Amino acid sequence: MRAFVTGGTGFVGANVVRSLLQSGYDVKALVRPSSPLNNLQNLEVEIVKGDLNDPELPRLMQGCQVLFHVAAHYSLWQADKEALYRCNVLGTRNILAAARSSGIDRVVYTSSVAAIGVGKDGIPVDETYQSPPEKLIGDYKKSKYYAEREARAAIELGQDIVIVNPSTPIGPWDIKPTPTGEIIVRFLTHKMPAYVNTGLNFIDVRDVARGHILALEKGKTGDRYILGNQNLTLKSLLDRLSQITGIPAPETRVPAWLPVAVAWVDETLLARLGKTPSVPFDGARMSSQLMYYDASKAVRELDLPQSDINIALQDAVAWFQANFVDVPKIHLGD
């Protein structure tokens, strides 16, 4: 079986590519001409250059039976609004249309729990929950919601698509890094003196990758599957990092309104004066929520693995140490 993969140079995509190769699939990866290929080096992958709006997509997909549409533009900066909708919404529409015209048999579309929204007072929600789009914080979440709508419209046309909604992955190959990876890097470089009372659902990125293949092989057409594992507060995550690295975890908790206020000034006012903002306003607003999810459907129907989050953290730390020059080399505890 030959799989066409978008977003293979990114964090989740690079792990999906590795999982596909380990499972015996041939892989053709769509890569933008400007994308670095570090995450695909030394892999038996056919690389084709193009983007989600390339009119040549149907031709590039020839010879593939399945599509993993993992690519997305991730940004919490308000200045990136246009790029978010162009890539995430229009790009999804285009790649799914190309898959139809090229005869792709089945698609796994990588959405996000961001498209689902959050429950009241931190109550974990499952695939049946949906926040109204106007309640989703920021254009990234809204763009993923409308991108999922594109997938559902394609399903209505008869296309065989399974939707997966990863929560917050942790592990190796977080090259950008993601916001969670950035938290780990800041912790390792002693740049996190305080924390906010937020919470996330975490999962080993390799379980997310495996979940994509399980969705292809076992998922029901039109269904969404949350690929998640453990709900943890940010403080609990930092405490685990402390146990792994020996670096003291921050003990000072700042009120939720403080980073929101700082980010608003940073991105709204100071950016107009030519200063590069350091904290996205939408990211600060999100940190005031407990973003908890229930992944039991994927565990039950797909046999989604639930690997130890501590191992994912330890492997993420080791990867950042090996690949980020600013991260000090420290002995990792057991």
Averaged over 116-136, what is the pLDDT? 94
Q: Can you state the angle between helices 91-102 and 138-156, rounded to 10 degrees?
A: 20
The structure tokens listed for 229 are: 């594992």
For the chain, list the domains and their CATH numbers: 2-173+202-229+292-306 (3.40.50.720)
pLDDT tens digits, residue range 317-327? Answer: 999 999 987 88
Residues annotated as catalytic (active site), given as ranges = 140
Q: Which residue type sits at 309?
A: I
pLDDT above 80: residue 332: no
Residues contacting 115, CB < 8 A, separation 6+: 136, 141, 144, 145, 147, 148, 165
The residue behind tokens 């209505």 is 156
CA nearest 218: which of 164, 279, 151? Answer: 164
The structure tokens listed for 181 are: 């990876």
pTM, to two decimals: 0.92
Q: Number of helices (H) and strands (E) in the chain: give both, helices first.
A: 12, 13
The structure tokens listed for 190 are: 């002693």
Mean pLDDT (the chain, rounded): 90
For residue 260, what pLDDT is reported? 47
CA nearest 172: which of 17, 281, 287, 54? Answer: 17
Q: In Å, how far are 117, 129, 293, 301 from 120, measured between CA atoms? A: 10, 11, 12, 26
Least confident of 58-67, 68-77, 161-170, 323-332: 323-332
Note whether 85 and 139 are within 8 A (CB). yes
pLDDT above 60: residue 263: no
pLDDT tens digits, residue range 179-232? Answer: 899 889 999 999 888 888 889 999 999 999 999 999 999 999 999 999 999 999
| DSSP bridge partners of 195 | 253
